[in-house]
Amino acid sequence: MRRSRPLLRTILFLALLLPLLVGLAVSCSPVRYIMMTASPTGAGPEAQPPLPGVDDGLSGWLQARPDVDLLISQTLYGAPLPPGEVRVTEHRLIDANAYNGAGRLEMLKLSITLPGNGQGAIDLALVLPNSSTEAAPVILIPSDCGLQAQLRRSDIPPNRNPVPSYCEPSGSRLEEYASSFFGEYVVSPPLERILRRGYAVAAWHESDIAPDRASLHAETLRSLGLDPAAPDRPGVIGVWAWMMSRVADVLETEEAIDSEQLAVMGHSRRAKAALLAGARDERFSVILAHQSGTGGASLHRDNLGEPIGSITEGYPHWFVPGYADYADREDALPLDAHYLLALIAPRSVLLGNSWRDVWSDPAGAWRVAEAASPVWSLYDVEGLNQTRLDEIDVSGHIAYHIRPATHGVRGEDWDAFLAFLDAQLQTRSGPEP
């Protein structure tokens, strides 16, 4: 009987591991791409079509910009949601000396009312640095794992919706494997380090309103007072971007937050939402979009990253329904990712990548940064200051970061994120932990 226990443990471990492996095989970083590397020069097809109005100077771009915004909505993300009315129904202190005394953890409950009897609610965690009494810049970081996993706390409300299998408690076998493959910060950011750097963190579980499940998206839209059958109905990426703005509504009213220094960070599909939030909401000063891939900051016309057909078959709820019409005919798209990036100008954006995450097309993202950069010049600010993919320059309002390994969030990524935030927001750094 004793001899069977190791075998039983192995079987149980494999049973837990199987969902992760299956998810990996169909995710934005398929196994078959792991051994490939991106072009070290970023070479490849140019971003097409050209950005409208740019040749006519700033006035020409400003005139064309509303049409670009509309085209983005019609082709990719769906119509923007109405802002709605956001109320804080509860605000309580959880821990005044969280994360080894580096921060103050507070919980807020948000209630959102939209036209047409639409309703939504968000459990928002706000972690404030204890190192300063001044209003702090803040990084908005949505989570797919829920707040308990993201914050590493069991004394906050549990998730209202299911979470992926890799969102296991710290110390579990599956969490250990996920961290080794996807990076140690794929579930939870380095909170103590961020706080000691002088930044606050606002965190929430996007599934509070919009679970990442195709079978639930119609229900999500109906709960928000929207018609799920409308051809311009937003995809879940659009709803997540809208949620980022609703969190910003609340942060603007918090005295402990510097409302002029709002940054939003997203990884993978949440990086797509972060870019869209930055394009639609000028309150976001800095956008940290890490490995956003197709439908984010990478080119559709590159024939290397994830094709539209793969996205719309696996995740039909991410984008507007008409996006699927361009499967296997990406060249027919009336735009590409440089249109989205240009809408963020003249604010700041960092595009994070890794050499072996070819499914997210790092080389295509580099050319998107190059193609959009002239729009920043129209505002008399620096866009992309880099000439190489592997030498990040945080002085420009567009920065490109790339590291070894595959899809995930690692320490090197947060090194780049914080350096860029320091440069762009001009904050005074505190001591490193």
With bands split at pLDDT 50, 70 and 90, how would you rate the model's confidence at 430? very low
Of 36-40, 281-285, 370-374, give the lowest mean pLDDT range.
Answer: 36-40
Q: Within a domain: residue 430? A: no
**Ordered strands of the 348-354 beta sheet:** 85-97, 103-114, 118-129, 200-205, 136-143, 257-267, 284-290, 348-354, 398-403
Res. 429: pLDDT tops 80: no
Res. 336: pLDDT tops 80: yes
Q: Taking each helix axis as running N to C, give the angle between helix 269-280 and helix 236-251, from 0 to 180 degrees, rounded to the nearest 10.
A: 60
With bands split at pLDDT 50, 70 and 90, how would you rate the model's confidence at 177? low
Of 13-17, 40-44, 140-144, 421-425, give the lowest mean pLDDT range.
Answer: 13-17
Measured CA angle at 377 (ends 374, 382), to 5 deg: 105
For residue range 3-62, list pLDDT tens digits in order. 556 555 555 555 555 555 444 444 444 444 555 677 778 888 899 999 999 999 999 999
Of 158-162, 295-299, 379-383, 410-414, give the lowest mean pLDDT range.
Answer: 158-162
Q: Within a domain: residue 431? A: no
**Residue 255 class from Cβ within 10 Å (0-12 exposed, 13-18 middle, 19+ buried)?**
exposed
Average pLDDT of the residues in 304-327: 96
Average pLDDT of the residues in 401-418: 95
Picking from 384, 397, 282, 343, the residue whose alpha carbon sits closest to that of residue 61 is 343
Q: Taking each helix axis as running N to C, give the angle between helix 362-378 and helix 57-72, from 0 to 180 degrees, rounded to the nearest 10.
A: 140
With bands split at pLDDT 50, 70 and 90, how would you rate the model's confidence at 182? confident
Q: Within a domain: residue 433? A: no
CB 297 within 8 A of CB 304: no
Q: Within a domain: residue 159? A: yes
Average pLDDT of the residues in 213-232: 97
3-state secondary structure of 425: helix
Q: How far apart are CA 109 and CA 156, in angstroms?
A: 12
pLDDT number for residue 304: 84
Domain of 287? 4-425
Q: Cα torsion for 229, 232, 235, 241, to the nearest 10°?
A: -140
pLDDT number for residue 24: 46
Q: Within a domain: residue 352? A: yes
Of 76-80, 304-308, 331-335, 349-353, give the lowest mean pLDDT range.
Answer: 304-308
**What pTM, to 2 d.p., does this model score?**
0.90
Please give the share of the chain, as a percent, with pLDDT higher than 70.
87
Of 83-92, 278-287, 303-312, give the lowest mean pLDDT range.
Answer: 303-312
Q: Report residue 164 CA to chain centroid gap.
A: 17
Res. 412: pLDDT tops 60: yes
Average pLDDT of the residues in 56-73: 98
Q: Within a domain: residue 81? A: yes
Q: Write out the E strands in 252-363.
A: 257-267, 284-290, 348-354
Of 14-18, 105-109, 294-298, 333-337, give the lowest mean pLDDT range.
Answer: 14-18
Average pLDDT of the residues in 333-362: 96
3-state secondary structure of 376: helix
pLDDT number for residue 25: 45
Q: Within a domain: residue 370? A: yes
Q: Within a domain: residue 149? A: yes
- Per the structure, the count of domains in the chain is 1
> What CATH number is given to the structural domain containing 34?
3.40.50.1820
pLDDT number for residue 130: 97
Q: How far apart are CA 101 and CA 196, in angstroms?
A: 10
